Amino acid sequence: MADEEQEQITVRKEKLERIRRLGVEPYPTTCQCTHSLKELREKFAELVKAEREVSVAGRVSTVRSHGKTCFLDLVGGEGRIQVYLRQDNLSDREWELHGLLDIGDIIGVSGTPMVTKTGEETILAKTLIFLTKALRPPPVVKETTDESGKKTLHDAFSDKEARYRQRYLDLMVNPDVRRLFRTRTRIIEEMRSFLDLRGYLEVETPVLQPIYGGASARPFTTYHHALDMNLYLRIADELYLKRLIIGGFNKVYELSKDFRNEGIDRLHYPEFTQLELYEAYSDYNGMMEIFEQLLVHIADTVFATKDFEFDGERFTIQPPFERLSIPEALSGKLGLDVMEASAKDLFSACKRHKLEVEGGWEWEEYFNELVEGLLEPNIKQPTFLVDFPQRLSPLAKPRADDPRLVERFEPFIMGVELGNAFTELNDPVLQRANFTAQESLRAKGDEEAQAMDEDFIVALEYGMPPTGGMGIGVDRLVMVLTDNPQIRETILFPQLRPK
RNA sequence: GAGCCGCUAGCUCAGUCGGUAGAGCAUCUGCCUUUUAAGCAGAGGGUCUCGGGUUCGAUUCCCGGGCGGCUCACCA
């Protein structure tokens, strides 16, 4: 809200002037701390015993003032500590400064660690300095604990719009949100170390691409002045990573953002983080193993458990994950052979199961509806959906025993699609034919159909070894592992329309 | 894009069957040297999301806009 200045801001500005009149700089350049708040708590007992003086800094989160004494809480990093100010322990000037303190200010305190008679670990302050005067009050969130130890938040800063628009406030006052984003970073770190340890090379490929490929989606378009041409923000990294496989890097991965110009909902976000990895002389079975091991690694290192909860239901990361053949599962459910069925058959099957479809669609569109409507929502435990129709998979290699299917899988947990992987198509002639088929879909108005990429075909003609490849939606994996049903909760600064 | 819902104090919310509004926390004043939603006593603070309509009078009713939430659609 643009500011007719609020009373609380005016008052704080006046305090700022009074601080300066005391000869104190409210925004000093340096601060010497002996411990972070987190370290302080970890070593508290020994510091009390040693009667060591410590210096710490943090943001004032609450103040409990009692005349000639004052308790306040400092927070920051992943720590919190109570500070005990006594008039008789401080200089007159410092005591006067304490009266100019507000919630949200950042201060430094030196003093001795002690435990109060209520058992609270506390710094008895000997000096007090301002590090930053806050001119706006943060949201005030308080917490009570009942006899059973159950915590209740009062006036939680919970409005999603406010939390996303001012994520710094969300992080400042909601420790769970800070924890979530630390966990997100830990997951990504462990993805890297898992792959690095297995000899994968992390690479960077173009975000700006002249031809967008590797997935079916509408791109963001931009313009390069010097080259006088349109470029697209990548929708996938796939075709460039495969060029690296052709070049002789046998194991590569890229961990970065892809962009798809589509709607936002609980599972979709236009700029999302994807891990893509490719391994020469592997295949989709190899990718399944890597997926399983990667999840086990993350579960062990980040969460130290294999049991997780999502949206009130439990799942366990315990390989081997179930392999569920889509045609078999669908055929069983519908009582007909879906691979032999006509578009019309699938249409009536959709109708029978009350899926919202219209007549005149392509076979694969009905097929998709059935997979999404009947199969995916029922997957709770980690599961690989396998045996996708070739017509839906222009970059995957057909199965030798049934070329109507490709060697492809999608991992699911709790109904959430976490990725997509296949044995990569390395037959340049077939690849060209698939692109051509996609082009004709595009000509019919399918905006998401893939574009012919002649340069990629040329690369394939030089010979790509048999290769397994996989993409993993990192935001979604974070969602599932942290029990967050909304993808935007896992993204630091979600896009909103300007107010 | 569609449907439903929301927008009131810094924060979380209540309320006005149409007569310009209230609570807790926060803020301000006073008291208080071990508190932890500290306490006690008092005070201030709002173009009730914006525009239009109906009306003597709209924050409240009606229409439209903005922003947001949820669900659905798109995103296989």
The answer to whether residues A123 and A192 belong to one domain is no
How many C-beta atoms surround the C-beta of residue A135 within 10 A?
A: 17
Number of Cα atoms under 13 Å in the Cβ half of residue A236: 24
Say yes or no to pLDDT of A295 above 80. yes
Domain-located, residue A202: yes
Say yes or no to pLDDT of A226 above 70. yes
Helix (H) or strand (E) segment spanning residue A254: strand A251-259
State whether residue A124 is helix, strand or coil.
strand
The answer to whether residues A75 and A129 belong to one domain is yes
Q: Compute the radius of gyration of chain A from its Cα atoms.
A: 29
Kindly report whether the peptide bond that precedes residue A137 is cis, defined as omega within 30 degrees of 0. Answer: no
Distances (CA, A) of A237 to A47, A161, A209, A469: 52, 32, 10, 11
* Nucleotide B63 C1' to residue A204 CA (A): 54
The answer to whether residues A282 and A184 belong to one domain is yes
The answer to whether residues A217 and A290 belong to one domain is yes
* Nucleotide B63 C1' to residue A178 CA (A): 44
The answer to whether residues A277 and A415 belong to one domain is yes
Kindly report whether the peptide bond that precedes residue A494 is cis, defined as omega within 30 degrees of 0. Answer: no
Domain-located, residue A154: no
Query: What is the pLDDT, as a whole number, of residue A103?
Result: 94
Residues 6+ apart with CB under 8 A from A4: none
* Nucleotide B65 C1' to residue A377 CA (A): 38
How many C-beta atoms surround the C-beta of residue A413 within 10 A?
A: 23
Average pLDDT of chain A is 92
* Structure tokens that stand for A369 in this block: 């509806």
Domain-located, residue A230: yes
C-beta within 7 A of nucleic chain B, residues 291-350 of A: none
The answer to whether residues A64 and A191 belong to one domain is no
* Nucleotide B30 C1' to residue A440 CA (A): 82
Residue nearest the C1' of B36 (CA based): A64
Say yes or no to pLDDT of A447 above 80. no
- CATH number of the domain to which A429 belongs: 3.30.930.10
- Closest nucleotide C1' to the C-alpha of A157: B11
State whether residue A59 is helix, strand or coil.
strand
Query: What is the pLDDT, as a whole number, of residue A26?
Result: 94
Please tell me the total number of residues recorded for chain A in this structure: 499
State whether residue A405 is helix, strand or coil.
strand
Domain-located, residue A195: yes
Domain termination residue (choose one: A138, A157, A187)? A138
* Structure tokens that stand for A229 in this block: 């041409």
Query: What is the pLDDT, as a whole number, of residue A3?
Result: 40
In terms of Cα–Cα distance, which of A250, A273, A244 is closest to A260? A273
As a whole-number percent, the residues of chain A with pLDDT over 90 amount to 74
The answer to whether residues A493 and A162 touch, using CB atoms and an 8 Å cutoff, is no
* Structure tokens that stand for A21 in this block: 């009149």
* Structure tokens that stand for A50 in this block: 């040693």
Average pLDDT over residues A304-314: 93
Distances (CA, A) of A334 to A137, A354, A362, A484: 60, 13, 18, 33
- CATH number of the domain to which A32 belongs: 2.40.50.140
Residues 6+ apart with CB under 8 A from A104: A59, A60, A134, A136, A137, A138
Backbone φ, ψ for residue A239 (5° rounding): -70, -30
How many C-beta atoms surround the C-beta of residue A249 within 10 A?
A: 15
Residue nearest the C1' of B37 (CA based): A142
Query: What is the pLDDT, as a whole number, of residue A5?
Result: 67
Domain-located, residue A220: yes
- The per-residue pLDDT for range A464-485, each reduced to its tens digit, is 999 999 999 999 999 999 999 8
Cβ of A82 < 7 Å from strand B? yes
Domain termination residue (choose one: A84, A116, A138)? A138
- The per-residue pLDDT for range A252-273, each reduced to its tens digit, is 999 999 999 888 889 999 999 9
The answer to whether residues A402 and A486 belong to one domain is yes
Phi-psi region of A342 (alpha: psi -120 to 50; beta: other; left: phi over 0): beta
The answer to whether residues A280 and A396 belong to one domain is yes
* Structure tokens that stand for A261 in this block: 């110009």
Asked whether the CA dihedral A302, A303, A307, A308 is positive or negative, the reply is negative
- Segments forming the whole domain that contains residue A132: 2-138
Domain-located, residue A404: yes
Domain-located, residue A374: no
pLDDT band at A249 (very low <50, low <70, confident <90, very high): very high
Average pLDDT over residues A146-174: 86
- The per-residue pLDDT for range A51-101, each reduced to its tens digit, is 889 999 999 999 999 999 999 999 998 899 999 999 999 999 999 999 999
Say yes or no to pLDDT of A2 above 60. no
Cβ of A271 < 7 Å from strand B? no
- Closest nucleotide C1' to the C-alpha of A388: B76
Cβ of A147 < 7 Å from strand B? no
The answer to whether residues A199 and A119 belong to one domain is no
Query: What is the pLDDT, as a whole number, of residue A442?
Result: 83
Beta-sheet pairing, A208-209 with A221-224: unpaired
pLDDT band at A435 (very low <50, low <70, confident <90, very high): very high
Cβ of A11 < 7 Å from strand B? yes
Residue nearest the C1' of B10 (CA based): A137
The CA distance from A119 to A138, in Å, is 28
- Closest nucleotide C1' to the C-alpha of A119: B34
State whether residue A470 is helix, strand or coil.
strand
The CA distance from A185 to A190, in Å, is 9
- Closest nucleotide C1' to the C-alpha of A450: B76
Domain-located, residue A147: no
Asked whether the CA dihedral A348, A351, A355, A360 is positive or negative, the reply is positive
Say yes or no to pLDDT of A336 above 80. yes
Phi-psi region of A346 (alpha: psi -120 to 50; beta: other; left: phi over 0): alpha
The answer to whether residues A121 and A185 belong to one domain is no
Taking the mean position of all CA atoms in its chain, how far away is CA A419? 14
* Structure tokens that stand for A212 in this block: 């967008």
- The per-residue pLDDT for range A360-382, each reduced to its tens digit, is 888 888 898 899 988 998 899 99
Question: Structurally, how many domains does chain A consist of?
Answer: 2
The answer to whether residues A189 and A267 belong to one domain is yes
Helix (H) or strand (E) segment spanning residue A63: strand A54-65
The answer to whether residues A303 and A390 belong to one domain is yes
Residues 6+ apart with CB under 8 A from A182: A78
Average pLDDT over residues A381-398: 94
C-beta within 7 A of nucleic chain B, residues 148-207 of A: 154-162, 164
Question: Per-residue DSSP letters for A142-166?
Answer: EEEE-TT--EEEES----HHHHHHT
Cβ of A265 < 7 Å from strand B? yes
Domain termination residue (choose one: A112, A138, A164)? A138
* Nucleotide B25 C1' to residue A153 CA (A): 12
Say yes or no to pLDDT of A135 above 60. yes
